[in-house]
A and B are shown apart, each in its own frame.
Chain A
């Protein structure tokens, strides 16, 4: 029991110690507290995983958080198969990224602050995945959002970073508003917030409807869509994806940990956790699948033409998250979680690798100013290649198995599934293209930066490269626990492991079809590589020509479909205008200032009149006194 409490508690302690004593005492030794704390969490998480594997699903209530009449919320942990996997993903990647940060953040003025926020994040994320009720999930959900805000704006003296932090927080508000309503609706429907109580009692919502503005809406669909709103915000799906690319203003380890491997996958985790609810609503499931599929291809197209190395990877993350939702939407929850798990390794690796590149080039992020880094940074190049092979889905690297699983589940998932499969396959082609484009632009050709930068080019220190190599092992091997049964009997260990929580996906399809899907996925991956190779290695003038040929399309993609501009026009500008003209110009100037200045002005005006009474002349006072006395006497004599 203590073991499970310690898993989130260790990072929390690290946060408390670092934030209290960091500035004056610990300073640049903050990692001596933070790294052992997360490493300890990792070891405990592994042991918790073993317990679960041995068949012990843990569900303990530790503390009565809120008790009010019938409303009972506990702080309690549910560690089942799903949570166990999440624990491993979160703690293992956190540990590696903490170690990496020692090198990456070395010499930064906010070193202790960085580690304290990062520890707080790990704590929040662990609470999110370990929660056994919706309110605790919501707590973790908001806390990771808060940490994300802190860490995106870590270099807050840079205006773009501070703005990006605010943007992430505000965009997430939209999603979380829906999520909050969803949680409330769950409580109103089921009378409890406890997962197991709700999931064992889902029958009662069947056929129930709720009346909103005169329309009867299926209750369970509404609940699921509300919850999914939160996932859209947190996992950066269309239409709330805009915050994630901007979040790259944060330090690279943050991008790797929060905005690639863990926090952004919280939405996927939440939908998978609520699978008994989602499975009841076809509409909600289809919405999840379509949003995921469209996001996958939408973000992939944007990534094709971006020049900022981290932005390419950020859009790639959005796209891969789309894949996960696609899988969830077609009912293949375990495939989604499987992809979450492999993606965490290869995407964290891509981010940390790009961090290594950025570090070597002294904060240069534009790929057009890179090139030829292969010979200066062999280790970074090597791990980058492995991660790319993994993300593009080349067997036997991790990404292949999870992506293939998703593609197959989509294909075998009915009419809509075929359409989604097509989307996903095209997205896979685009993924391969932009991933290799990134490699070729960064590492191949000749160096296009300044001489000054070229002079300082060097491989990163060992504290950075060792975590990269360890992650590379994950990027290569993480998928081997999910080999499809077609290729190996009992190969899909993760699917079987997760089955008690997530169930078995159902789909019809022959072996031949499965082979075809697999073949297609390898084929498009190879095609993507080929096209990128032709364009960026063989004929380097080709990208310019293609760009010129499809000028409007290129501009559309380069400007990210003008979504930011659209939102700015629709939401930001009107709000600014409203606050400037109405709130500031009318309400504040006229009403607030009117009251604040009006009251004293009124009193002043009155007193200006009344002060005339006080003449300072003795005889006037005497006269008034005499008249007053006469009046009283007159009253006594005549009126009574």
Chain B
């Protein structure tokens, strides 16, 4: 039996890696993947708690998260491609049209 804390640690590690990737990488695709990593880390902790508390609520929420993540991926990638057509780059440093 794996104790709950291990899942939590795993989830925290994954989340931190996601945050780090989000902040440090310049490639939009990688940033995108980092966001997915963060979402999935949350999923892990939700499932772990669901199991621990013997309640289905957490698992139901995970389905929602997965759905939202799928939708977000679809829309996000579409925006990315649309943007790339006008401005052939995927480096976030060079995407600064909203600079004040």
Contacts of B79 in A (CB 8 A): none
Stretch at the interface among B2-10, B53-61, B88-96: B88-96
* Distance between Cα atoms of A559 and B98 in the complex (Å): 75
* Distance between Cα atoms of A371 and B7 in the complex (Å): 125
Contacts of A455 in B (CB 8 A): none
* Residue B19 lies at the interface, judged by CB distance under 8 Å to chain A: yes
Q: Is the CB of B92 within 8 A of A617?
A: yes
Q: Is the CB of B19 within 8 A of A618?
A: no
Query: What 0/1 pattern do residues 4 to 20 of B give for CB contact below 8 A with A?
Result: 00000000000000010
Q: Is the CB of A617 within 8 A of B100?
A: no
B6 to chain A, nearest CB (A): 21
From residue 621 to 636 of chain A, which have CB atoms closer than 8 A to chain B? 622-623, 626
From residue 3 to 56 of chain A, which have CB atoms closer than 8 A to chain B? none
Q: Is the CB of A614 within 8 A of B92?
A: no
Contacts of B93 in A (CB 8 A): 617
Q: Is the CB of A622 within 8 A of B22?
A: yes
Contacts of B92 in A (CB 8 A): 617-619
Query: What 0/1 pattern do residues 602 to 622 of A give for CB contact below 8 A with B?
Result: 000000001111111111001
* Distance between Cα atoms of A338 and B24 in the complex (Å): 107
B78 to chain A, nearest CB (A): 17
Q: Is the CB of A612 within 8 A of B100?
A: yes
* Distance between Cα atoms of A612 and B96 in the complex (Å): 13
* Distance between Cα atoms of A618 and B93 in the complex (Å): 8
* Distance between Cα atoms of A626 and B22 in the complex (Å): 10
* Residue B85 lies at the interface, judged by CB distance under 8 Å to chain A: no
Q: Is the CB of A616 within 8 A of B23?
A: no
B37 to chain A, nearest CB (A): 14
* Distance between Cα atoms of A397 and B24 in the complex (Å): 115
B24 to chain A, nearest CB (A): 8
Q: Is the CB of B31 within 8 A of A618?
A: yes
Query: For residue A626, which residue of chain B has the nearest CB?
Result: B19
Contacts of B100 in A (CB 8 A): 610-616
* Distance between Cα atoms of A614 and B95 in the complex (Å): 13
Q: Is the CB of B98 within 8 A of A626?
A: no
Q: Is the CB of B23 within 8 A of A622?
A: yes
Q: Interface residue count for A (Cβ, 8 Å)?
A: 13
* Distance between Cα atoms of A623 and B95 in the complex (Å): 16
Q: Is the CB of B23 within 8 A of A614?
A: no
Query: What 0/1 pattern do residues 31 to 61 of B give for CB contact below 8 A with A?
Result: 1000000000000000000000000000000
A288 to chain B, nearest CB (A): 77
* Distance between Cα atoms of A623 and B22 in the complex (Å): 9
A458 to chain B, nearest CB (A): 84
* Distance between Cα atoms of A617 and B93 in the complex (Å): 6
Contacts of A617 in B (CB 8 A): 92-93, 96, 99
Q: Which of A613, A615, A616, A618 has the most CB of B within 10 A?
A: A618
Contacts of B31 in A (CB 8 A): 618
Query: For residue A614, which residue of chain B has the nearest CB?
Result: B100
Query: For residue A607, which residue of chain B has the nearest CB?
Result: B100
* Distance between Cα atoms of A615 and B92 in the complex (Å): 12
Identify A615's interface contact among B22, B23, B26, B96, CB under 8 A. Answer: B96
Q: Is the CB of A616 within 8 A of B19?
A: no
Q: Is the CB of A615 within 8 A of B95?
A: no
Q: Is the CB of A616 within 8 A of B22?
A: no
* Residue B97 lies at the interface, judged by CB distance under 8 Å to chain A: yes
Contacts of A622 in B (CB 8 A): 22-23
* Distance between Cα atoms of A560 and B22 in the complex (Å): 93
Contacts of A615 in B (CB 8 A): 96, 99-100
Query: What 0/1 pattern do residues 49 to 87 of B give for CB contact below 8 A with A?
Result: 000000000000000000000000000000000000000
Contacts of A626 in B (CB 8 A): 19, 22-23
B44 to chain A, nearest CB (A): 18
Q: Is the CB of B95 within 8 A of A618?
A: yes
Contacts of A619 in B (CB 8 A): 22-24, 26, 92
* Distance between Cα atoms of A611 and B98 in the complex (Å): 11
Q: Is the CB of A623 within 8 A of B97?
A: no
Contacts of B23 in A (CB 8 A): 619, 622-623, 626
Contacts of B95 in A (CB 8 A): 616, 618
Contacts of A616 in B (CB 8 A): 95-100
Given contacts A616-B95, A619-B26, 16 further A-B pairs with CB under 8 A are A611-B100, A612-B100, A614-B98, A614-B99, A614-B100, A615-B96, A616-B100, A617-B92, A617-B96, A617-B99, A618-B92, A618-B95, A619-B22, A619-B23, A622-B22, A623-B23
* B contact residues vs A (CB 8 Å cutoff): 19, 22-24, 26, 31, 92-93, 95-100
A-B contact pairs, 23 of them (CB 8 A): A611-B100, A612-B100, A614-B98, A614-B99, A615-B96, A615-B100, A616-B95, A616-B99, A616-B100, A617-B92, A617-B93, A617-B96, A617-B99, A618-B31, A618-B95, A619-B22, A619-B24, A619-B26, A622-B22, A623-B23, A626-B19, A626-B22, A626-B23
Which 8 residue pairs across A and B have the least CB separation, nearest first? A616-B99, A616-B96, A611-B100, A614-B100, A616-B98, A618-B92, A622-B22, A622-B23
